[in-house]
Structure 1
């Protein structure tokens, strides 16, 4: 049987299977039962206590001049807690006595004499700030609701609730969500698929790599872009240079500029740059910003305004000379003059598109002959270091900069502390005794490998283990031939009857610690020849066999 009925409690239509069914669900049945019980209890209490029946506001007053908070709440038609809240805020005045709080009726009526204009909550919010809804943020910044909540929590953007709606401060959202719609140069970034393809990595390996190394990233929609400079530096495809800086080669590859064009931007717009090793590096953000501004339509007007502000001169002031005159006077190229004046930030005048410099400042800048001033005691120039230790001047500059060698500058010439330089380049120089020995013969690493018939790794181990005297010249290591031959002769002399520790390790497949442990507690006969300890083969073989069969 199916009968369409209307629920006695909620009033909704439903299909009943019995004539006696009057509720659509057990929930409505329970609620209606509880309502009937409650109404019966109230009626029974009112019958038993007629004096406690709820009075109307007019009955409560009875001409009273003073009211309790409960009576004031009934008079105003609000809750008792609201009355107490207004008492605390000072809107309604009251007197607290022991066990009772009284409110003057005249004070309540006076509140309505000159009330302020009514204003809704939403209007109050709009006076202070403007707000976004979820949908507006999703449409403007092309992101999901989950992405919005993630950024809101990350940047602590306050939320404002009005009924069921949630609003976010427009100014803060524009600042922290701008990255999602910003124009980016894809040449400076990798996507995850590009990293997987280039470095043969799985998706999980890429995520682990960028998280572990904290690679800067930009997220737009569902695509994540990772900084190309940081990734290439860590993967070894780029020199160990701060990823926040460009090298000249990177700028030339990205923007197809010549070196002169790059130098023009760097020096005319005063972009942050410095030397790092053998590279001149340029601040990445500043350079990109300048290029972006130059690409705009009004860049030409800005350049005209900048040039208009420069002092206009037609006659060359006394005491100023041109770049060509400087180059001719000091025997250098015009490019060298431009580089040195930029480096020293020498003031200049621009007259008819030509640069002119103060003659006194130029003379001080180019007066670099060490013979014209007193050389500091116990200090040495980079050229002298390069000549003594057989390295290039460029190598000297790099090593001294990395080691923070103390230096002083006299007329733009750097002098380095001699003791610190000798300590730094000690490995490059042979001992004084060997330097005085004119008959000392030196072999390169390749010659040693051919002589002994060993690999490069074995040669390095050999010269380190036997402490072969060495020196470096122009980056190439040389070893003393007589020392190598002495080692070979010593080993050959006792090779028939004695083992070295290295030979024991190799023959019996043991490590050095284990060999030393066995020799320490065994009576193995041995001889000492110079730096070498040689052990009798007969005793070694006997000891090994005893250990194998015990």
Structure 2
């Protein structure tokens, strides 16, 4: 059985006629020779410009980019930043001196960049003595302080959560004898307890609010912050004052006969939502917002409809 060989150009298997044959056909041999000459010419074309630049003292921006192995736009950037000197002879001709390129490299030696997370710690000694309270908006203000244990006992929060929240919300604090003390006023405002929470008897969770008032948890957090509803946190759960929520949401008005909902007005008078909005503004109808719904005072609605009927509308 005659030995076979793989063509170095097309990869086909063939039976060589001699031990020196590398290609399966004359076409593959000619094509391989053409590609070999092309690679040689490309190498020469790439080296020749650099060899020519070795004997030139003044370079255009394009040739300077070839010499440095970068783009022409980067040369423009170096010149614009003042790192590389250039001379403009006309509106379309500018040159860079090779000596200035070498001078630029000599003036900018390589320096190791240490990542931020791997920097060596400072050698300054840490003081464990009494620290000054963190400055807030009011400077030179005498503040009453809670100890960390008092905050954890009153609001039922963890030590790590308290410290992180105080740092994140810039609550003034100080450290004395290894213990953290937090500004009483800022803690009360942060927990929404500017009022006396001990006088509030009914509390609801976020799940209860979602069921009763049809509010999502994100909407509840925003609503609580906007209206300063008292809250308390116990063992990782947040509770909201039911009394304040009911006072603001006015859920009792939904069953009040003195008010119409927008849907009821649409059914009674055959109006669209846009018509109702216009009538409310034009006739000064009193309205109350309960959740996502608007309640319209029944007497004002009937008065406005009577006026429209008198005008033939």
**TM-score between the two structures when normalised by the length of structure 2:** 0.49
Query: Which protein is bigger by CA-based radius of gyration?
Result: 1
Q: Which has the higher contact order (CA 8 A, sep 6+)?
A: 2
The structure in which a higher percent of residues are helix is 1
**TM-score between the two structures when normalised by the length of structure 1:** 0.31
